[in-house]
């Protein structure tokens, strides 16, 4: 698990900051951060990923994340940012980068790594596009290419910031099923999403942020039981879907 205690991070004096007193990201669970634009969701993930410094504690299976070398951190934790660059390389080369945290000084990939790359391409439906340059992919295809990269990385914790926002509905669902399989293998997926019905339907736990703080958290069932509080924070509430044919287990209600 990742245990967050007396945690703060941000962008310097007077600028935006987040403060989180106590929060646990459990192994084997999908956890989702939700909240309005600018409430600090990405700031939180960036600080766990080592892109922003933090104060306080973020203990990953007992070890302070900030004390780990980038390589040691990358062996256990992967981060998919919201905006994904397109350096001049093919999808397959990008995906192979996921393995470099395990490679030795010569950066030679093992047979297992090569198999992992093919599996990651297959699981994201990117095999047919594997020789294409990143700059020649659509937005959703680029998200799938980066997702394949962190699958090849094979970390215990996957931090995914709006990683399916540009995907078509079929790939979005497929990715959610993939996240479900990863958690069954004991991995932990932490997502940020504005797709509330989807988030409520797949998450074990949800944290709602506002103005840099976690203002409400719980299981989807627990949160759906507090419609007035959800309306107060999000301007909208959720309830279990009323028909069996509904795409998701929860739907938005006014």
* C-alpha 12 chain-centroid distance: 25
The whole-angstrom separation of Cα 9 and Cα 61 is 21
Element (H, E) at 222: helix 220-224
Using the minimum distance from each CB to ligand ATP, give the nearer residue, 41 or 97: 41
Residue with smaller CB distance to ligand ATP, 221 or 232 = 232
Nearer to ligand ATP, 52 or 178 (CB): 52
Distance (Å, rounded) from C-alpha 24 to C-alpha 80? 20
User: How many chain residues are in contact with ligand ATP, going by CB under 6 A?
Assistant: 12
Q: How far apart are CA 198 and CA 149, in angstroms?
A: 23
CB closer to ligand ATP, 127 vs 165: 165
Choose the binding region for ligand ATP from 32-40, 130-138, 198-206, 234-242 (rule: CB under 6 A).
Answer: 32-40
Transcribe 31-63 into DSSP letters: EEEE-STTSSHHHHHHHHTTSS-EEEEEEETTE
Element spanning 24, H or E: strand 17-25
Report the b/e string of 44-77 with b at 16+ CB within 10 A: bbbbbbbebebebebebeeeebeebeeeebbbbb
Q: Binding residue for ligand ATP (CB under 6 A) from 13, 15, 108, 170?
A: 15
Binding flag, residue 41, ligand ATP (CB under 6 A)? yes
Among 6, 38, 64, 122, binds ligand ATP (CB under 6 A): 38
Q: Which of 13, 14, 37, 62 binds ligand ATP (CB under 6 A)?
A: 37
Query: Of 8-16, 123-131, 139-147, 178-186, which part binds ligand ATP (CB under 6 A)?
Result: 8-16
| Nearest distance, CB of residue 131 and ligand ATP, angstroms | 32
Which residue in this structure is represented by tokens 């106590």? Answer: 22
Q: How far is CA 79 from the centre of its chain?
A: 7
Q: Footprint of ligand ATP on residues 62-91 (CB under 6 A)?
A: 82
Nearer to ligand ATP, 120 or 214 (CB): 214
> Which member of 1, 16, 166, 217 binds ligand ATP (CB under 6 A)?
16
- Any contact of residue 43 with ligand ATP (CB under 6 A)? yes
Distance, CA of 167 to CA of 154 (rounded, Å)? 22
We find the least distance from the C-beta atom of residue 55 to ligand ATP, in angstroms, to be 17
Residues near ligand ATP (CB under 6 A): 11, 15-16, 35, 37-43, 82
């Amino acid at each position: 698990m990742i245990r967050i205690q007396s945690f703060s991070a941000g962008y310097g004096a007077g600028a935006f900051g987040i403060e989180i007193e106590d929060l646990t990201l459990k192994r084997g669970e999908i956890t989702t951060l939700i909240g309005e634009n600018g409430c600090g969701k990405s700031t939180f993930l960036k600080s766990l990923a080592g892109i922003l410094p933090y104060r306080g504690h973020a203990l990953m299976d007992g070890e302070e994340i900030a004390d780990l070398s980038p390589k040691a951190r990358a062996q256990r934790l992967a981060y998919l940012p919201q905006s994904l660059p397109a350096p001049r390389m093919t999808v397959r080369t990008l995906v192979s980068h996921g393995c470099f945290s395990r490679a030795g000084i010569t950066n030679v990939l093992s047979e297992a790594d090569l198999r992992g790359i093919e599996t990651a391409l297959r699981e994201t439906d990117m095999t047919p596009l594997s020789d294409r340059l990143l700059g020649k992919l659509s937005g959703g295809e680029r998200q799938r290419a980066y997702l394949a990269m962190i699958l090849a990385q094979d970390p215990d914790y996957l931090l995914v910031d709006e990683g399916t926002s540009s995907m078509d509905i079929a790939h979005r669902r497929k990715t959610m099923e993939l996240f479900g399989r990863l958690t069954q293998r004991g991995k932990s997926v932490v997502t940020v999403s504005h797709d509330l019905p989807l988030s409520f339907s797949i998450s074990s736990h949800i944290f709602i942020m506002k103005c840099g703080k976690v203002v409400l958290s719980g299981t989807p069932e627990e949160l759906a039981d507090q419609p007035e509080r959800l309306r107060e924070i999000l301007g909208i509430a959720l309830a279990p879907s009323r028909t069996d044919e509904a795409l998701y287990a929860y739907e938005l209600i006014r």
